[in-house]
Amino acid sequence: MEKVLDNLNRALHTLFAEDPRVCLIGEDVLDPYGGAFKVAKGLSTAYPDRVHTTPLSENGFTGFAAGMALAGEKPIVEIMFGDFIAIAIDPIVNFAAKSVTMYGRRIDLTMLVRCPVGGQRAYGPTHSQAMQKYFVGTPNLTLHELSPVHESDALLRRIMGAKTPAILFEDKAIYAQPMLINEGLDPLFSRQVLDDAGELVLLERKGQKRLDCLLVAPGGLVKRALAAAKALLIEDEIDCSVLVSSRLYPFPWSGAKNLVAKAKLTVAMEDGTPGGSWTTELAHTAHTELWGKLQKPVRLLSGKDAIIPCAAHLEKTVLLQDADIVAAVRKELT
């Protein structure tokens, strides 16, 4: 059974094989190390002139990559831990994203910044954050998340094909999880791709007749959302579906609109701290377009408004758990 990490690594090898302008830039990405989480494994051996290891300078090498992209190359930047992307906000927001439309005409600027994020690994407050919210609303910058229900090669093709700067958030906890496409998915659920772009995937109970609750989850929360959906069905007879989008911002609303309108309750969730995120943008859109049709306001779930502890048992009290999802849905529907 293929793991998420292997699926992503294979997709990167495919990109390199198909386009000589694709390169990788980051810390410790050369073999045999292959990056802190081994996502770059084998790339420097196969393409030694296109994998560039760097000093500890996220601002410097991200800016270097943005310049390469402006010149027509297609750099992929690996941030060792996503928390450190804060150091690279300036070249991403003020140079790469603005350069697309700053020179009197639209310019192709293909650049992907990969960020391992999230907790569940007891790495502590500076190596466990969800950084998605800090980039929401930046013109010409799209935000995506790695997912066990989306093929990584198709995801990377979409991102690179858009020819604009993008960030791919990769929840570290799912690297070792199995892909949930051809196998691995709980037999209680089926997988359905909802849109032509392949960004929206719906996991629904086989034979489902009603939609009590729609759980909108990013890739890193799929396992927890499915566990919550199963518990709610067995223990409370609440029928839930899990909607997973590979693009967080701008969220592909048109493909989700009918489901949100149909559900008795929609819950949008994330591991980050409360407020100012892609989930709040989703709720705003839903309330604006569907206010007369919604049976209940969209419920938002997130991690706590706190830094993430090092101790594993304390970390769980800060990050969103499947029990928290179950409790929130029960409160609304029972």
Q: Do residues 263 and 150 share a domain? A: no
Q: Do residues 224 and 155 share a domain? A: no
3-class state of residue 257 by DSSP: helix
180 within some domain: no
CATH number at 206 reads 3.40.50.920
DSSP-assigned letters across all residues of 123-151: --TTSS---GGGGTT-TT-EEEE--TTS-
65 within some domain: yes
Is the pLDDT reported for residue 182 higher than 90? no
- Domain closes at, from 125, 149, 174: 174
Of residues 175, 87, 169, the one with CA closest to residue 130: 169
182 within some domain: no
Q: Do residues 196 and 64 share a domain? A: no
3-class state of residue 68 by DSSP: helix
- Domain closes at, from 174, 206, 222: 174
214 within some domain: yes
Is the pLDDT reported for residue 209 higher than 90? no
Mean pLDDT value across residues 320-329: 98
Q: Do residues 59 and 152 share a domain? A: yes
181 within some domain: no
Q: Do residues 32 and 169 share a domain? A: yes
Total-model pTM: 0.97
Residue 16's domain comprises: 4-174
Q: Do residues 70 and 164 share a domain? A: yes
Q: Do residues 159 and 206 share a domain? A: no
Q: What is the pLDDT of residue 63?
A: 98
184 within some domain: no
Q: Do residues 168 and 47 share a domain? A: yes
- Please state, in angstroms and rounded to a whole number, the distance separating the CA atoms of residues 295 and 282: 16
- Domain closes at, from 174, 209, 237: 174
Q: 137: which 2 tokens?
A: 């609303």
In this structure, are residues 291 and 96 in contact, taking their beta carbons and an 8 Å threshold?
Answer: no
Q: Do residues 65 and 201 share a domain? A: no
- Please state, in angstroms and rounded to a whole number, the distance separating the CA atoms of residues 12 and 34: 12
Q: 63: which 2 tokens?
A: 């800016």
- Please state, in angstroms and rounded to a whole number, the distance separating the CA atoms of residues 153 and 69: 21
- Please state, in angstroms and rounded to a whole number, the distance separating the CA atoms of residues 27 and 17: 22
Model pLDDT for residues 275-290, shown as the tens digit of each residue: 999 999 999 999 999 9
Number of helices (H), then strands (E), belonging to the chain: the values are 11, 13
168 within some domain: yes
Instruction: Give every CB contact of residue 191 below 8 A, 6+ residues apart in sequence.
Output: 149, 180, 181, 185, 201, 202, 203
How many domains does one find in the chain? Answer: 2
Q: Do residues 81 and 112 share a domain? A: yes
- Work out the percent of the chain whose per-residue pLDDT is above 90: 97
Q: What is the pLDDT of residue 80?
A: 97
Q: How many residues make up the chain in this entry? A: 334
Helices (H), the chain: 4-18, 43-46, 58-70, 89, 97-99, 152-161, 222-236, 253-262, 278-290, 312-318, 322-333
Q: Do residues 111 and 256 share a domain? A: no
CATH number at 125 reads 3.40.50.970
Question: Residue 192: is it exposed, middle or buried by C-beta count within 10 angstroms (0-12/13-18/19+)?
Answer: exposed
Q: 178: which 2 tokens?
A: 């199995």
pLDDT grade for 106, boundaries at 50, 70 and 90: very high
Model pLDDT for residues 73-103, shown as the tens digit of each residue: 999 999 999 999 999 999 999 999 999 999 9
- Work out the percent of the chain whose per-residue pLDDT is above 70: 100
179 within some domain: no
Q: Do residues 246 and 98 share a domain? A: no
- Looking at every residue in the chain, the average pLDDT score rounds to 97
